[in-house]
Amino acid sequence: KGLGTLVTGFCFKHLRDRKTFRLYSGTRAGLLVVDVLFNLLMFKSSRTDKYSLMLTFLVFKYCKLKINNVPADIRPPFGSLVPFIALFMETRGLTRREIGVSLGVMPFVGVFVSPSVGAIADRWNIHKYALMVCTLFAGAVHLLLLAIPARAHPLLVVESHLSCSTSSSYFQDCELSPSPSVHTSGSYQKCQNKWTNFAATVGKIKKERTYSEADLNCESRCSKHKSSGNVIFCFSDEPEDFVRQCSGTIVLQDTITFCLKNMSHVLGGKALADQRNKTCKKYDIEGVEMDEVEYRKLLCDKTVSLNCTTSCKEPPSELCPFQAKEFDDVYLQLILTYLLANIFLNPCFCLSDAVTFDILGDERYKYGKQRLWGTCGFAVFGLVSTAIMEQAREKGGHLDLSPAFYIFAALCCCSAAIASFMRLHGDVSCGRNMFSHCLELFTDVEVLAFLLVVLHMGMGLGVQQGFLFLYLKQEFSASPILFGLCLFANASFEVKLP
């Protein structure tokens, strides 16, 4: 799983999303032959009960082919958060390669952390308390990820003229060059150009993406010429012109500052050509915010020309291309916090398995039914998280992943509370003899063939868990509810019907 995530993350550096997933699909199709040959080999094989039990124990205990096969009564349903970690990392400005490294390293961390915590719990027989502590801290540390700031994006800075009159106001801009210029100013990058160069690009983005993803939130600071005399600015919601009085807010300052919430709509709309200069265009201003109050338009008591500097935060990469600095301080903060979260999260697997086997006692054959509840919880809370994110997206316009973290933390608290009521009966063991009989298994050719299939399936799981939702979001502008339906479909096929 970790190897598949690492390799795919580095492939994204040199291939487009579609090519990377085509490469992955081709590899899966080729290795499907290995799966079929292995199944035929196993059906014809006369494996003894000893080998069958050892092989089953190795697969279900340590390989962890499915992250959602967990007992729901003592472990939180990871469907509420774990599948969306890659999306969260993208919101923090991480590149595909950084996401691949972050997600790919964590399974290897679990190989060393889980046996160590299990051995400590075995030494003092504190499995229940170790499970409670790991579960609570896993939820708490995951919440700390929300406090990590996003990587700074360059500002889109545009110098232009604003023509304001009693009936309308519009930006007047002339084309200068076919591509924007990016330079560093202070602690951030500035992408400086003219509106006309961006208009065609904005229209293309609006056709390929949703409105919210193509939107530009900008702030304009405009000042009048000294020769213009006194000017009265009117921010109004009324359709009539500003002739004698203003029905909105009057501003008498020489310099005004206002926000534009729909600049992408203005640039993507129909621009009027300047009759005197064919290379210049006029972009009518619609939707102005002044002192946190929204107005329909900006008017003036007379015709006046203003010099404006407009700054837009987090512009799309098509508008303002820049090279992000990888593995910087933001990445270091995120990877260390995520590492700490996995140090507490990974031991929950072996601890909960050990506690479950102890509670079942002689009825250990019912262990599969306990794991079935984890699959159901994965499907249910995957849908719940995505439904809440869908509602938040409709109100704010942008994908908000914080509900998934809060739900996960709440479920961790519930899981710890449930674990506190459990009573252990015998000698629980989860850290001893972990790698015993492994060498004996590796000497068998058929077992090695099976482990090859397991390795292949784990790599596929790592690719899907790390990059499937990123691919759907970027290529198809998929909504969060589609992610939940994907998780629900995945979990549904794991439920065996009578």
Instruction: Indicate the residue type of 334.
Output: L
Res 141: pLDDT: 95
Task: Look at the alpha carbons of 34, 35, 36, 42 in this order and tell me if their dihedral is positive or negative.
Answer: positive
Supply the pTM of this predicted model.
0.70
What is the residue extent of each domain of the chain? 2-150+324-492, 155-313
Res 459: pLDDT: 79
Q: What is the 3-state secondary structure (H, E, C) of the chain?
A: CHHHHHHHHHHHHHCCHHHHHHHHHHHHHHHHHHHHHHHHHHHHCCCCHHHHHHHHHHHHHHHCCCCCCCCCCCCCCHHHCHHHHHHHHHHCCCCHHHHHHHHHHHHHHHHHHHHHHHHHHHHHCCHHHHHHHHHHHHHHHHHHHHHCCCCCCCEEEEEEEEEECCCCEEEEEECCCCCCEEEEECCEEEEEECHHHHHHHHHHHHHHCCHHHHCCEEEEEEEECHHHCCCCEEEECCCCCCCCCCCCEEECCCEEEEEECCHHHHHHCCCEECCCCCCEEEEECCCEEECCEEECEEEECCCEEEEEEEEEECCCCCCCCCCCCCCCHHHHHHHHHHHHHHHHHCHHHHHHHHHHHHHHHHHHHHHHHHHHHHHHHHHHHHHHHHHHHHHHHHHHCCCCCHHHHHHHHHHHHHHHHHHHCCCCCCCCCCCCCCCCCHHHHHCCHHHHHHHHHHHHHHHHHHHHHHHHHHHHHHHHCCCHHHHHHHHHHHHHCCCCCC
Pull the structure tokens for residue 457: 């399936």
Res 6: pLDDT: 58
Res 62: pLDDT: 33
How far, in Å, CA of 382 to CA of 387, rounded?
9
pLDDT of the chain along its 498 residues, tens only? 566 565 655 565 554 555 554 555 555 555 555 555 544 444 444 443 333 333 333 333 333 333 333 343 444 457 788 889 999 998 888 888 889 889 888 888 888 888 888 888 888 888 888 889 999 999 999 999 999 998 877 778 888 889 998 888 888 877 654 455 555 444 456 677 677 767 766 666 665 554 444 467 788 999 988 878 888 899 888 767 776 778 788 888 889 999 987 777 777 665 666 555 556 778 888 788 888 888 888 889 888 999 999 888 777 666 676 666 788 888 999 999 999 999 999 888 788 877 777 777 788 778 777 777 777 878 888 888 899 988 877 555 678 899 999 999 998 898 888 888 877 765 666 655 556 666 777 778 887 887 887 787 777 777 777 788 888 887 777 888 888 888 888 888 777 665
Res 340: pLDDT: 96
Pull the structure tokens for residue 82: 């774990």
